[in-house]
Amino acid sequence: MRLVCTGQSGLGKATLFTQLVERARAAGKVLQVYNVGKRMCEERGVDEQEILKLPLPELGAIRRGVFKEIISDVGGRENSLIETHATFRWENALFPAFDYNQFRQLAPDAFATLIDDVDSVWVRLKEAKPGAEYTLKDLMVWREEEMIVTETVAGVLERPHYIIPRRDALDLLYSLIFEPNKRRAYMSFPMSLIRDMPELIRDVEQFKETMKKQFIAFDPAAIGEKRLHYELQQVLDSMGVARSIEIEILNKSHRVDVRQLLDLIPDIDGQIVYRDFKLIDQSQMIVAYIPVVFDSPYPASGVERELEYAHNTAKDAFVICQRGDKLSPFVTKRASRVFATFEQALAYFKSKKWV
């Protein structure tokens, strides 16, 4: 597998890729990671901030030279991950951070874009680059640019493109690189409706663990920045007007400007819809869990929409619900099969000979 991995700064990629290499080594496998940006800095003897101050032609020449070296070395490797940005800003203008011809020479098998909650990226960047000033909206736009540009490049080269949430990235990247024949599944389940229902949350977590045993499983809840909306609303409901609020981010309390949150919130829901449909697109099937409350399936319009989208894009669709006999026809007509328990579903999936 030869995988090109893009993503903005502030994702903790160095730690992630070190863990990925170590996990591969523990399994008796070898993975070579190439960091394009780091190699460019080493080539010029400057840091990441300084290199973007170089003239644009010189910057392009350094990048092409680094890619040429990587292309030469990759040929002798069984498994390689090439880490690069898809875009960069130079004097406040946006530029691609790649060369189509060199990507063709590299001949990657797939592309992946790492993403994370925008507030987590914001905190990591503040800690790594104290002088850099990014708003939450800046980082959200940068994240979308990385995804869209990488998806476009992958489409031109006729290669698959995956969105990889940072929280699950270690497992997902390992499986994509070393277990490429493992079936890819999107996990659908109620989210906002059950956030104050601990028992149903535990059931959903059990469902996800069950699916991850069998599939390369994509979890829409792995990006959880919707909580920023909930937390802001809760504070404003209790306090009225506030300049900033305390939010726990990466296990620490951080004070966040309310104006930044208000600027961000209108985009969160729209990106959730786009991102979840993209996760379905990159999967081969969808498995939906519908919990039961008071002996009836718990309604979830999001699950129904995802099943409909999967059905309309010719994906296999499966449903797990203890009271399948009470499910809406909008669910059952789109499901290939309905299971009463996680165990029944897992037994079926293990016995299935996928075509």
Tokens found for residue 257? 């400007």
How would you classify residue 288: left for phi > 0, otherwise alpha for psi between -120 and 50, otherwise beta?
beta
Give the pLDDT score at 91: 66
Tokens found for residue 176? 């994509």
Beta bridge partners of 255: 246
Task: Specify the pairing of strand 216-218 against strand 292-293.
Answer: unpaired
pTM, two decimal places: 0.93
Express each pLDDT in 73-115 by its tens digit.
Answer: 998 788 999 999 998 876 667 888 888 889 999 999 999 999 9
Give the pLDDT score at 76: 78
- Give 317's DSSP letter: E
Q: What single letter denotes the amino acid at residue 20?
A: L
H-helix or E-strand containing 278? helix 258-281
Question: Which are the contacts of 130, defined by CB distance < 8 A and separation ≥ 6?
Answer: none
Q: What single letter denotes the amino acid at residue 47?
A: D
Distance of alpha carbon 167 from alpha carbon 223, whole angstroms: 8
Higher pLDDT, 334 or 49: 334
Task: Specify the pairing of strand 2-6 against strand 80-83.
Answer: parallel
Distance of alpha carbon 83 from alpha carbon 61, whole angstroms: 18
For CA atoms 157, 160, 165, 168, the dihedral sign is negative
- b or e along 169-198 (b: 16 or more beta carbons within 10 Å of the residue's beta carbon)? bbebbbbbbbeeeebbbbbbbbbebbeeee
Domains and CATH numbers, the chain: 2-181 (3.40.50.300), 183-223+266-355 (3.40.50.450), 226-260 (no CATH)
Higher pLDDT, 354 or 335: 335
- pLDDT grade, residue 355 (50/70/90)? low
